[in-house]
Structure 1
Amino acid sequence: MLLDEHNSKLLFAASAIPVPQGAAVFPGEEDDFAPGYPLPWFLKAQILSGGRGKAGGILRIDDPADFPAKARKLFSREIKGESVPFIRVEPGEDIAHEFYLSLSVSRRQRCILLTCGRQGGVEVEKQGAENLLIQKIRLPEGPAPHQIRAAFFHLGLDRERFRDFAGFLDALFRCLLDNGLLLAEINPLVLTPDNRLVALDGKVEMDDNFADLHPETEVYRRREHAAPEENMARDAGLSFVRLPGWVGLMVNGAGLAMATMDLLNFSGLPASNFLDLGGAADQKRMETALELLFGDTRVKAIFINLFGGILSCEKVALAMQGALGGTSPKKPIVVRMSGKDAEAGLKILREMDGNNLHMAADMQAAIAILDTIRPADAAPVDHPAPLDIPLGPRPAPTDWRSDAHFLIGADTPILVQGITGREGQLHTRLMQEYGARVVAGVTPFKGGQETLGVPVYNSIAEAKRHHDIGASIIFVPPRMAADAVAEAVDNGIPWTVCITEGITQHEMLAAFERAEGSPTRIVGPNTPGIIVPGKTKIGIMPTMPFMPGPVAVFSRSGTLTYEVADRLTRAGIGQSICVGIGGDPFIGVDFVDLFEMIRNHDQTRAVIILGEIGGQAEENLAEYVVRTGFDKPVISFIAGQTAPAGKRLGHAGAILEAGGGIQDKLETMGRAGFAVCPSLEAVAEATKKALK
Structure 2
Amino acid sequence: MQLNEHDSKTLFQESGIATPQGILLQRDLMVNPAADMSAENFSVPLPWMLKIQVLAGGRGKQGGVVALDSPEELPTAAQRLFELEVNARPAPFLRLEHRATIAREFYLSLSLQREWGCPVLTIGRQGGVEVETIGAEDPENLLVQRLNALAGLGAHQVRAAFFHLGLDKSLWPDFHSLLKNLWDCFTNNGLLLAEINPLVLTREDKWLALDGKIEVDDNFADLRPEVKRFAREVYFSDQENRAKAAGLSYHRFEGRVGLMVNGAGLAMATMDLLNHSGLQPANFLDLGGGAGQQAMDEAMNILLGDPQVEAVLINLFGGILSCEKVAMALMTALGGQAPVKPLVVRFSGHGADAGRSLLSDVPGKTLHLADDLNQALDILRDILQADSTPSGKLPRSSAPGADSVSKKSSGANRSPRAGSLVAQPFGLDRTSQVLVQGLTGREGRRHAELMREYGVQIVAGVTPFKEGENVLGLPVYSSVAQAAARHHIDASIIFVPASVAADAVLEAAQANVPWIICITEGIPQMEMLTVLEQLKGSNSRLIGPNTPGLIVPGEIKIGIMPGGIFSPGPVAVLSRSGTLTYEAVHRLGAAGIGQSVCIGVGGDPYVGLGLKACAELVVADPRTKALLILGEIGGRAEEETAEHLRAQGWTGPILAFIAGRTAPEGKRLGHAGAILEKGGGGIQAKLDRLQTAGVTLCSDLDDVARLTGEALDLI
- TM-score bucket of the superposed structures, by smaller chain: over 0.9
The 1:330–1:246 alpha-carbon spacing in structure 2 relative to 1, beyond 3 Å, is same
Using the TM superposition, give the Cα deviation of residue 631 of structure 1 relative to its aligned residue in structure 2, in angstroms: 2.2
Query: Is 2:697 aligned against 1:676?
Result: yes
Task: Classify the secondary structure of the residue corresponding to 1:544.
Answer: helix
Deviation string, structure 1 residues 85-129 (Cα, Å, up to 9, x no partner) = 111100110011111111000010010000000111124243211
Query: Is 2:434 aligned against 1:414?
Result: yes
Aligned residue for 1:180? 190
Using the TM superposition, give the Cα deviation of residue 81 of structure 1 relative to its aligned residue in structure 2, in angstroms: 1.5
Letter in 1 for 2:702: E
Aligned residue for 2:100? 93
User: Which of 240, 259, 268 is the matching residue for 1:230?
Assistant: 240
Query: Is 2:351 aligned against 1:330?
Result: no
Q: Distance in 2 between matches of 1:347 and 1:613?
A: 36
Aligned residue for 1:555? 575
Deviation string, structure 1 residues 508-530 (Cα, Å, up to 9, x no partner) = 00000111122211100000101
Aligned residue for 1:499? 519
Choose 594-603 or 18-27, whichever is displaced more: 594-603
Task: Classify the secondary structure of the residue corresponding to 2:565.
Answer: coil
Aligned residue for 1:72? 79
Using the TM superposition, give the Cα deviation of residue 398 of structure 1 relative to its aligned residue in structure 2, in angstroms: 8.4
Q: Distance in 2 between matches of 1:423 and 1:347?
A: 25
Query: Is 2:663 aligned against 1:643?
Result: yes
Query: Is 2:414 aligned against 1:393?
Result: no
Using the TM superposition, give the Cα deviation of residue 381 of structure 1 relative to its aligned residue in structure 2, in angstroms: 11
Using the TM superposition, give the Cα deviation of residue 382 of structure 1 relative to its aligned residue in structure 2, in angstroms: 6.0
Aligned residue for 2:361? 351
Gap runs ≥5 in structure 2: 412-416
Question: Which structure 2 residues correspond to residues 193-208 of structure 1 after superposition, within 5 A?
Answer: 193-208=203-218
Aligned residue for 1:269? 279
Aligned residue for 2:154? 144
Task: Classify the secondary structure of the residue corresponding to 2:673.
Answer: coil
1:392·1:670 contact (CA, 8 Å) conserved in 2? no
Q: Distance in 2 between matches of 1:398 and 1:456?
A: 42
Question: Which structure 2 residues correspond to residues 355-434 of structure 1 after superposition, within 5 A?
Answer: 355-374=365-384, 383=392, 385=394, 387-390=399-402, 391-395=405-409, 399-434=419-454
2:276·2:390 contact (CA, 8 Å) conserved in 1? no
The 1:474–1:241 alpha-carbon spacing in structure 2 relative to 1, beyond 3 Å, is same
Q: Distance in 1 between matches of 2:663 and 2:115?
A: 21
Letter in 2 for 1:12: F
Deviation string, structure 1 residues 307-337 (Cα, Å, up to 9, x no partner) = 1222222221221111111222121111111
Using the TM superposition, give the Cα deviation of residue 375 of structure 1 relative to its aligned residue in structure 2, in angstroms: 6.4
Choose 64-73 or 458-467, whichever is displaced more: 458-467
Gap runs ≥5 in structure 1: none
Task: Classify the secondary structure of the residue corresponding to 1:44.
Answer: strand
2:418·2:620 contact (CA, 8 Å) conserved in 1? no
Q: Distance in 2 between matches of 1:301 and 1:222?
A: 31
Task: Classify the secondary structure of the residue corresponding to 2:599.
Answer: strand
Choose 400-409 or 239-248, whichever is displaced more: 400-409
Aligned residue for 1:109? 116
Q: Distance in 1 between matches of 2:525 and 2:351?
A: 35
Using the TM superposition, give the Cα deviation of residue 341 of structure 1 relative to its aligned residue in structure 2, in angstroms: 2.2
Query: Is 2:53 aligned against 1:46?
Result: yes
Choose 634-643 or 133-142, whichever is displaced more: 133-142
The 1:622–1:183 alpha-carbon spacing in structure 2 relative to 1, beyond 3 Å, is same
Aligned residue for 1:240? 250
Letter in 2 for 1:186: I
Q: Distance in 1 between matches of 2:2 and 2:391?
A: 29
Q: Distance in 2 between matches of 1:343 and 1:416?
A: 29
1:402·1:599 contact (CA, 8 Å) conserved in 2? no
1:400·1:628 contact (CA, 8 Å) conserved in 2? yes
Using the TM superposition, give the Cα deviation of residue 548 of structure 1 relative to its aligned residue in structure 2, in angstroms: 1.9
Task: Classify the secondary structure of the residue corresponding to 2:563.
Answer: coil
Q: Distance in 2 between matches of 1:450 and 1:375?
A: 58
Choose 38-47 or 349-358, whichever is displaced more: 349-358
Choose 283-292 or 530-539, whichever is displaced more: 283-292
Choose 392-401 or 315-324, whichever is displaced more: 392-401
Using the TM superposition, give the Cα deviation of residue 487 of structure 1 relative to its aligned residue in structure 2, in angstroms: 1.7
Aligned residue for 1:159? 169
Q: Distance in 2 between matches of 1:192 and 1:210?
A: 35
Using the TM superposition, give the Cα deviation of residue 460 of structure 1 relative to its aligned residue in structure 2, in angstroms: 2.1
Letter in 2 for 1:229: Q
Choose 412-421 or 224-233, whichever is displaced more: 412-421
1:447·1:458 contact (CA, 8 Å) conserved in 2? yes
Q: Distance in 2 between matches of 1:287 and 1:460?
A: 40
2:574·2:615 contact (CA, 8 Å) conserved in 1? no
Q: Distance in 1 between matches of 2:692 and 2:628?
A: 16
Letter in 1 for 2:26: F
Q: Distance in 1 between matches of 2:508 and 2:408?
A: 38
Aligned residue for 1:509? 529
Q: How many residues align?
A: 691
The 1:3–1:381 alpha-carbon spacing in structure 2 relative to 1, beyond 3 Å, is farther
Letter in 1 for 2:591: A
Query: Is 2:583 aligned against 1:574?
Result: no
Aligned residue for 1:132? 142
Deviation string, structure 1 residues 455-475 (Cα, Å, up to 9, x no partner) = 222222222222222111111
Letter in 2 for 1:24: L
Letter in 1 for 2:560: I
Q: Distance in 2 between matches of 1:343 and 1:433?
A: 20
2:642·2:654 contact (CA, 8 Å) conserved in 1? no
Amino-acid identity (%): 53
Query: Is 2:75 aligned against 1:55?
Result: no
Aligned residue for 2:20? 20
2:249·2:286 contact (CA, 8 Å) conserved in 1? yes
Structure 1 length-normalised TM: 0.97
Using the TM superposition, give the Cα deviation of residue 399 of structure 1 relative to its aligned residue in structure 2, in angstroms: 4.6
Aligned residue for 2:264? 254
Deviation string, structure 1 residues 191-234 (Cα, Å, up to 9, x no partner) = 11111111110000000000111111111111111111101110
Using the TM superposition, give the Cα deviation of residue 394 of structure 1 relative to its aligned residue in structure 2, in angstroms: 4.5
Task: Classify the secondary structure of the residue corresponding to 1:572.
Answer: coil
Q: Distance in 2 between matches of 1:261 and 1:676?
A: 18
Question: Which structure 2 residues correspond to residues 648-659 of structure 1 after superposition, within 5 A?
Answer: 648-659=668-679
Question: How well do the aligned residues superpose, as a CA RMSD in angstroms?
Answer: 1.9
The 1:15–1:375 alpha-carbon spacing in structure 2 relative to 1, beyond 3 Å, is farther
Letter in 1 for 2:506: A
Q: Distance in 1 between matches of 2:697 and 2:294?
A: 39
Query: Is 2:708 aligned against 1:691?
Result: no
Letter in 2 for 1:526: N
Using the TM superposition, give the Cα deviation of residue 403 of structure 1 relative to its aligned residue in structure 2, in angstroms: 3.8
1:625·1:672 contact (CA, 8 Å) conserved in 2? no
Query: Is 2:190 aligned against 1:170?
Result: no
Letter in 2 for 1:572: G
Using the TM superposition, give the Cα deviation of residue 345 of structure 1 relative to its aligned residue in structure 2, in angstroms: 1.7
Using the TM superposition, give the Cα deviation of residue 492 of structure 1 relative to its aligned residue in structure 2, in angstroms: 2.1
The 1:375–1:400 alpha-carbon spacing in structure 2 relative to 1, beyond 3 Å, is same
2:619·2:627 contact (CA, 8 Å) conserved in 1? no
The 1:399–1:299 alpha-carbon spacing in structure 2 relative to 1, beyond 3 Å, is closer
Letter in 1 for 2:131: V
Using the TM superposition, give the Cα deviation of residue 577 of structure 1 relative to its aligned residue in structure 2, in angstroms: 0.8
Q: Distance in 2 between matches of 1:515 and 1:564?
A: 32
Using the TM superposition, give the Cα deviation of residue 239 of structure 1 relative to its aligned residue in structure 2, in angstroms: 0.5
Choose 669-678 or 610-619, whichever is displaced more: 669-678
Structure 2 length-normalised TM: 0.94
Letter in 1 for 2:519: I
User: Which of 503, 519, 524 is the matching residue for 1:483?
Assistant: 503
2:23·2:44 contact (CA, 8 Å) conserved in 1? no
